[in-house]
Structure 1
Amino acid sequence: MDILIFIVSMAALIYGADYIIEQSEKIALHYNISSFVIGATLVALGTSLPEMAVSMSATVKGSGDIAVANVIGSTIFNISLVLGVVFLIAKKVSPKRDLFAKDSAWSLFPILAFILMGIDGKINFVDGILFLALMAGYLMFLISSNSMEEIDEELAKEKFAWGKTAGLLVIGFIFVVVGADFAIDSASNIARDFGISEWVIGLFLIAFGTSLPELTISIKSAMNNNTDLAIGNIIGSNVANFTMVLGVSSLINPLNVDLSANFFDIAAAFIASLMLVFITANKLYNKSAGIALMVILALVVQNSLA
């Protein structure tokens, strides 16, 4: 029964986030906010809503391991699975934007900050403030560098109606909040029933589920040859996952971090981020890079099952 509840809860999270993203874009368009600002803020942050909801709920319930593992796992999935799939299915990957010079370093800053903050075994209130400041810096950088454009052109053609938009926003937030609550309870029960640690549940089951919005958006973008959006969404989402998700969660309760016990998974997330920098620096946007990223995911899975 818990497995069924978990699946339904994750579906509610994903659909809720989708509603919020779409309706937020409509509001921004109605008030003539530039498409760049919409894309740079709403889409990347919107696809991180499931991670945010799950991690905050886990923190409130005292399941800090799930909150941290969710972010580490999402980083691994976003780069190794999502970006790997993009490279494998896209006919041609040739971003117009210089992703190495302008964006790739941002995939490393948050995880380096996480490792440094976790040396003392906790991500505390002050660390949370610093994470949120890093997110603010990232958004300012995006705006000043006239970054990626992520608006849905079909969405821009639709008529704006406050009643419908407000209603769907409310539904979206209800789905996200309620879905996160049930997802944490069911995931914890599954972990206890099968003798699996909350870290592993967060790293795989929850992280994979909360990465589905990024996977969906990036695959759709790759199939439409909009690889700037696909890669930009992954970088932006990873920044948001560390800075917003861990930042806000640590403001609620300090998060315990065991760097030595979870060394392999944290190292995998760091290596995946480093590979993203290497790929963008050398413009290795090809199927070989996709396979290499998939290998990282396979190693993480093998290590956890061993």
Structure 2
Amino acid sequence: MDFIIFIVAMSALIYGADFVIKESERIALHFNISHFVIGATLVAFGTSLPEMAASMVAASQDKSDMAVANVVGSVIFNITLVLGVVFFISKKMYPKRDLFLLDSAWIIVPLVLFFLMVQDGVIGRVDGVLYLLLMVSYLVFLFNDPKADLGVEPTKEKFSWTKPILLLIVGFILTIGGANFVVESGTEIARTFGVSEWIIGIFLISLGTSLPELVVSLVAIKKGNAEMSIGNIIGSNVANFSMVLGAASLVNPLTVDLVATKYDMLIMIAASVALLFILANRLYNKAGAIFLLIILALFIQNALV
């Protein structure tokens, strides 16, 4: 029964996030915002809602392992699975934006802050506030960057606020409600099989909550929009660290055991460094994909052992 609840709840979580993503993108396009900025902000935040809801609920139930593992696993899956698949199936990816020059700091800084914060074994409320301020800084950077290429033709369709607001509300309700049941059923599954909440969080929940990023990125590539696809992942990972961990730690301080989770932490570092290498060398192709998918295979192999 817990498996059925988990699948239904995860579906509600993802379906709710899909409402938020679509309506956010429609609003952004109406107001003439670039595809990269849409991908890195509204779409990225929308696809990070499942992670945020799941981690906040886990934190409120004093399940720090599940809350933190969800973020760590999501960062790994976003880079290795989502971008790995995108690079593998994409025929041509030539982003106009210099992603390494402009955005590499936003891959490294949240990661470095994370490891600085967990040296004492706790991500406290002060750390959470600092992370939320980092999110504000990221938004200011994106919307004030003169190279952000904001010139996009606005949509011609008639625009009304009623439908987007209603669908956003429905999306948030499904996302938050689904997250609650995902955490509850995930905990029961962990107990049934005698595995830790960390494993459930880093594998099952994080994989499920990364599905919106995968779907959005694949749709973006199908439409020939490489910048939105990559922007979505960079923005999502910034949001995972700053918005998700920040909000969860405000609900309840999060404990982290770096020794017990060192392999997963090393995989997260390896995935982030690999992404930097790919951006620096513009390896938006099968070579870059294989590089990322090998890291993913190592991660899955360890999680299943």
TM-score clears 0.5 = yes
| In 2, Cα distance between equivalents of 1:132 and 1:19 | 24
SS of alignment partner, residue 62 of structure 1: coil
Moved more, 39-48 or 10-19: 39-48
| In 1, Cα distance between equivalents of 2:89 and 2:182 | 31
- Give 1:35 shift: 4.5
| In 2, Cα distance between equivalents of 1:3 and 1:123 | 31
2:257: which partner in 1? 258
- Give 1:166 shift: 2.8
Q: How does 1:1-306 map to 2 (within 5 A)?
A: 1-28=1-28, 32=31, 34-35=33-34, 38-146=38-146, 156-306=155-305
Contact 2:17/2:175, CA 8 A, preserved across alignment: yes
Pairs aligned (count): 304
Contact 1:39/1:149, CA 8 A, preserved across alignment: no
| In 1, Cα distance between equivalents of 2:211 and 2:142 | 24
| In 2, Cα distance between equivalents of 1:208 and 1:291 | 19
- Structure 1 residues 150, 81: closer, same or farther in 2, change over 3 A? farther
| In 1, Cα distance between equivalents of 2:151 and 2:303 | 38
What are the Cα deviations for residues 7-32 of structure 1, in whole angstroms up to 9, with x where unaligned?
Answer: 111111111111122223444566x4
**Amino acid of the structure 2 residue aligned with 1:19:** F
SS of alignment partner, residue 156 of structure 1: coil
- Structure 1 residues 157, 16: closer, same or farther in 2, change over 3 A? farther
Q: List gaps (5 residues or longer) in structure 1.
A: none
- Structure 1 residues 59, 147: closer, same or farther in 2, change over 3 A? farther
**Amino acid of the structure 1 residue aligned with 2:176:** V
**Amino acid of the structure 2 residue aligned with 1:236:** G
- Give 1:161 shift: 3.2
- Structure 1 residues 15, 138: closer, same or farther in 2, change over 3 A? same
| In 2, Cα distance between equivalents of 1:222 and 1:69 | 29
| In 1, Cα distance between equivalents of 2:134 and 2:184 | 31
- Give 1:259 shift: 0.9
- Structure 1 residues 176, 188: closer, same or farther in 2, change over 3 A? same
Contact 1:105/1:277, CA 8 A, preserved across alignment: no
What are the Cα deviations for residues 87-119 of structure 1, in whole angstroms up to 9, with x where unaligned?
Answer: 100001221110110012211111111111001
What are the Cα deviations for residues 191-221 of structure 1, in whole angstroms up to 9, with x where unaligned?
Answer: 0001111101011111011111110111112
- Give 1:34 shift: 3.6
| In 2, Cα distance between equivalents of 1:231 and 1:22 | 17
| In 1, Cα distance between equivalents of 2:181 and 2:149 | 35
| In 2, Cα distance between equivalents of 1:5 and 1:149 | 44
- Give 1:223 shift: 2.3
- Give 1:61 shift: 1.1
Q: List gaps (5 residues or longer) in structure 2.
A: none
With normalisation by structure 2, the TM-score equals: 0.94
Contact 2:107/2:237, CA 8 A, preserved across alignment: yes
What are the Cα deviations for residues 209-236 of structure 1, in whole angstroms up to 9, with x where unaligned?
Answer: 1111110111112222211111111111
- Structure 1 residues 20, 205: closer, same or farther in 2, change over 3 A? same
- Structure 1 residues 187, 34: closer, same or farther in 2, change over 3 A? same
Contact 1:71/1:207, CA 8 A, preserved across alignment: yes
| In 2, Cα distance between equivalents of 1:152 and 1:204 | 38
| In 2, Cα distance between equivalents of 1:134 and 1:225 | 31
SS of alignment partner, residue 183 of structure 1: helix
RMSD: 2.1
Contact 2:190/2:197, CA 8 A, preserved across alignment: yes
With normalisation by structure 1, the TM-score equals: 0.93
- Structure 1 residues 206, 222: closer, same or farther in 2, change over 3 A? same
- Structure 1 residues 173, 267: closer, same or farther in 2, change over 3 A? same
- Structure 1 residues 246, 147: closer, same or farther in 2, change over 3 A? farther
Contact 1:25/1:151, CA 8 A, preserved across alignment: no
- Give 1:38 shift: 4.7
| In 1, Cα distance between equivalents of 2:219 and 2:255 | 37
- Structure 1 residues 152, 196: closer, same or farther in 2, change over 3 A? farther
